[in-house]
């Protein structure tokens, strides 16, 4: 039987994405506290080899609110990983305990490899600088709920070179023929190979370094943190840290229905004063991670 692994957005057609998003909408009441026993008797294992707050907690929340149980590695220091066990073995062992595995790993391609060794569905919760499909799905869901996925004009702002969320999101947006503006410092431009893929899919892609120039022309401002930990050279980080800052002043030019999103955590890209404006949606966005992950967990486990 084919397992429902969730590894990369590239494995999904637009129709399949729409099915997940519509399913997520049905789970919203459960995410807000309505009882469900859909996954009662099922066990989810969370394997996080890298730190995570939102992703791990929202998976746990989603699983528990659907009536299921969660097991985890505990801290890496006390697990068999420090004894040198490789990921392929860990996956084969844990697959005998749990009905599905959520994996975050520092190496690109880890989730794809895990899926080759696993007898239960693998859900990729981030593989190094690679994919993070559940984040992308919750981003799309947020746009669907708070704005619109059709005729969408969106600006992706910040670190477009190392930021894995924007690569997956940009790809998914190309399936919706979105008008995408890339806003980044020259050093952090989106890699050519990804832009080429987007254009091949028929997305309209523009690039600029100025956020002021485009704020009045977009429906969604998707702001990302410039991630210090992804920079090989700290001096390079210092050059671009804090170049973009969304403030109330900037938003005076914004169109009426603009929404601002951010995958969180934020550092100083969005001024806290913006939280009170009608544009802010980043806290809603982090809540939507729960119903979206419910839809994915249900897809992975209910039929197995």
By CB under 8 A, name the binding residues for other proteins.
8, 10, 86-88, 105-110, 112-113, 116, 127-131, 193
Catalytic site includes residue 200: no
Which residue out of 35, 78, 83, 252 is catalytically annotated?
83
Question: Between 88 and 204, whose beta carbon lies closer to other proteins?
Answer: 88
Q: Report residue 289 as tokens.
A: 């991670």
Shortest CB 283 distance to other proteins, Å: 31
Catalytic site includes residue 132: yes
DSSP-assigned letters across all residues of 213-240: TTGGG-SEEEE----GGG-S-HHHHHHH
Which residue out of 5, 42, 104, 262 is catalytically annotated?
104
Exposure of 207 by Cβ count < 10 A (0-12 exposed, 13-18 middle, 19+ buried)? middle
Shortest CB 8 distance to other proteins, Å: 8
Which residue out of 42, 65, 132, 225 is catalytically annotated?
132
Question: Between 127 and 159, whose beta carbon lies closer to other proteins?
Answer: 127
Question: Between 67 and 109, whose beta carbon lies closer to other proteins?
Answer: 109
Shortest CB 103 distance to other proteins, Å: 11
Shortest CB 147 distance to other proteins, Å: 29
Q: Is the dihedral of CA 126, 210, 243, 247 positive or negative?
A: negative
- Going edge to edge, which strands form the sheet with 69-72? 69-72, 43-48, 100-105, 122-127
Exposure of 303 by Cβ count < 10 A (0-12 exposed, 13-18 middle, 19+ buried)? exposed
What's CA 140's distance to the chain center, in Å? 9
Catalytic site includes residue 55: yes
Question: Between 108 and 236, whose beta carbon lies closer to other proteins?
Answer: 108
Q: Report residue 45 as tokens.
A: 């294992």
Catalytic residues: 54-55, 83, 104, 132
């Amino acid at each position: 039987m084919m397992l429902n692994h969730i590894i990369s957005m590239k494995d999904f057609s637009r129709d399949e994405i729409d099915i997940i998003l519509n399913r997520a909408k049905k789970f919203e009441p459960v995410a807000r506290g309505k009882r469900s026993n859909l996954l009662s008797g099922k066990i989810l294992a969370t394997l996080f080899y890298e730190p995570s707050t939102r992703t791990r907690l929202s998976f746990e929340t989603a699983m528990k609110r659907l009536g299921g149980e969660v097991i985890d590695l505990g801290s890496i220091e006390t697990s068999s990983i420090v004894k040198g066990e490789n990921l392929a073995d860990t996956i084969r062992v844990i697959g005998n305990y749990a009905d599905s595995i959520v994996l975050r790993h520092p190496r690109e391609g880890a989730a794809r490899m895990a899926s080759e060794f696993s007898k239960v569905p693998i859900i990729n919760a981030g593989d190094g600088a690679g994919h993070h499909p559940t984040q992308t799905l919750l981003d799309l869901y947020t746009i669907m709920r708070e704005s619109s996925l059709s005729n969408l004009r969106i600006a992706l702002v910040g670190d477009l070179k190392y930021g894995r969320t924007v690569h997956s999101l940009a790809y998914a947006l190309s399936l919706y023929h979105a008008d995408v503006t890339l806003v980044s410092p020259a050093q952090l431009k989106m890699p050519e190979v990804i832009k080429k893929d987007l254009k091949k899919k028929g997305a309209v892609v523009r690039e600029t370094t100025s956020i002021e120039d485009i704020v009045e022309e977009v429906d969604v401002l998707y702001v990302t943190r410039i991630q210090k930990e992804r920079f090989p050279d700290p001096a390079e980080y210092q050059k671009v840290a804090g170049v973009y800052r969304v403030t109330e002043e900037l938003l005076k030019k914004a169109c009426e229905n603009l929404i601002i999103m951010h995958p969180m955590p934020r550092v100083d890209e969005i001024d806290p004063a913006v939280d009170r404006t009608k544009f802010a949606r980043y806290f809603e966005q982090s809540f939507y991670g729960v119903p979206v992950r419910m839809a994915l967990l249900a897809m992975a486990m209910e039929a197995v």
